[in-house]
Amino acid sequence: MESFTKNPWFLLGGGVVAALALVAAITGPLPDLTEDKTSVTSLIAEPTGSPMSDWALPFDVPLDLMPRSASGYCEPETIEWLRRNGTEATPYHGISVRSAAEGGAMLSISNLRAVDVERLDPKPVIHFQCPSAGNAETAVLGLRLDRDRKAVELVDGSVDDTRPFAFNLEPGETGNLELRLDNEDGYSYTGRIVADVTVGKDKKTVSLPLSGDHAEKFDWVSPGKYARLIVQPGRTKDIQFTCEIYAPGFSRWRPVATSEFTDVFDCSHDRVRALLTEIGGSS
């Protein structure tokens, strides 16, 4: 036993163990070398839908054949019919963001903006809207397509009070973005949404996935002056649709509904056609 303890390799090993124990006592446990640290590739982004799904339907669509709903919401068979006959064109996009890192620095998302934007002449369409029935922190963002295409954060949801957008995620943390596309020039738009991801001095620009049929891009379909009329599912089996009509000159794609500007009433497919004809004949 005595000869074993005098072995120089044994003594060296004991010294290393003692040194490591001393370091651990001073600095704490050794870091987990298998832990994923934060990098610019740590961002996980997924579309989460929107409070409303909006659809652009051609004027000659057979509205009388749309499946009826008794709930006031779009049932699965209604959504299937809308996909076959129209284009999903929601201006609200929900995006879930998460840092996949298990440790390390904070990840920052900023400079969210529209790129590869194409402006298209509008075509007459029927604006059909499906309300949604439905916890992380949510940043509500507004982005104007007809001028500055960089998003700003809405303070308390107000377009009159904004601040520059920046969203920080700790390792493993999740948050939500709600992007609201807007324009007032009457044109339709397509494009992509990107943002800068920063960790320390490293920066990367990434595309964010959006709601709708094509997650890689957005389709903003402007109904022009026909934006005055919004058609939604009826609230009973006997009432096919609910119509919401805005005063002349008020033609934003997603206006904020107030009793001062709108009239909401039950309507049939024949009534929808009559309203479209009336709006079409107005100046």
CB 227 within 8 Å of CB 248: no
pLDDT at position 246, please?
Answer: 82
Tokens standing for residue 87: 């284009």
Is residue 213 helix, strand or coil? coil
CA–CA gap between residue 209 and residue 218 (Å, rounded): 9
CA–CA gap between residue 170 and residue 42 (Å, rounded): 11
pLDDT at position 12, please?
Answer: 45
Cα 265 from chain centroid?
30
CA–CA gap between residue 37 and residue 170 (Å, rounded): 11
**Residue range 46-58: average pLDDT?**
84
Selected residue with higher pLDDT from 34 and 266: 266
**Residue range 9-29: average pLDDT?**
46
**Residue range 9-28: average pLDDT?**
46
What confidence category does residue 249 fall into, taking pLDDT thresholds of 50, 70 and 90? low
pLDDT at 170 over 50: yes
**Average pLDDT over all residues of the chain:** 81
pLDDT at position 253, please?
Answer: 43
> Among 156, 152, 125, which Cα is nearest to 230's?
125
CA–CA gap between residue 142 and residue 150 (Å, rounded): 9
What are 135-169's pLDDT values in tens digits? 456 888 999 999 889 999 998 767 778 999 999 99
pLDDT at 171 over 90: yes
Selected residue with higher pLDDT from 49 and 194: 194
CB 212 within 8 Å of CB 95: no
CA–CA gap between residue 84 and residue 87 (Å, rounded): 8
CB 196 within 8 Å of CB 204: yes
What confidence category does residue 23 fall into, taking pLDDT thresholds of 50, 70 and 90? very low
pLDDT at 83 over 60: yes
The secondary structure of the chain in percent helix, strand, coil, rounded to multiples of 5, reads 20, 45, 40
Selected residue with higher pLDDT from 125 and 158: 125
pLDDT at position 219, please?
Answer: 86
CB 101 within 8 Å of CB 43: no
Cα 217 to Cα 104, 188, 189, 193, 252, distances in angstroms = 32, 14, 10, 7, 21
**Residue range 88-95: average pLDDT?**
86
Beta strands, E only, 38-84:
43-49, 52-58
pLDDT at 31 over 70: no
CA torsion 149-151-157-163 (nearest 10°) is: -120
DSSP, res 150: B
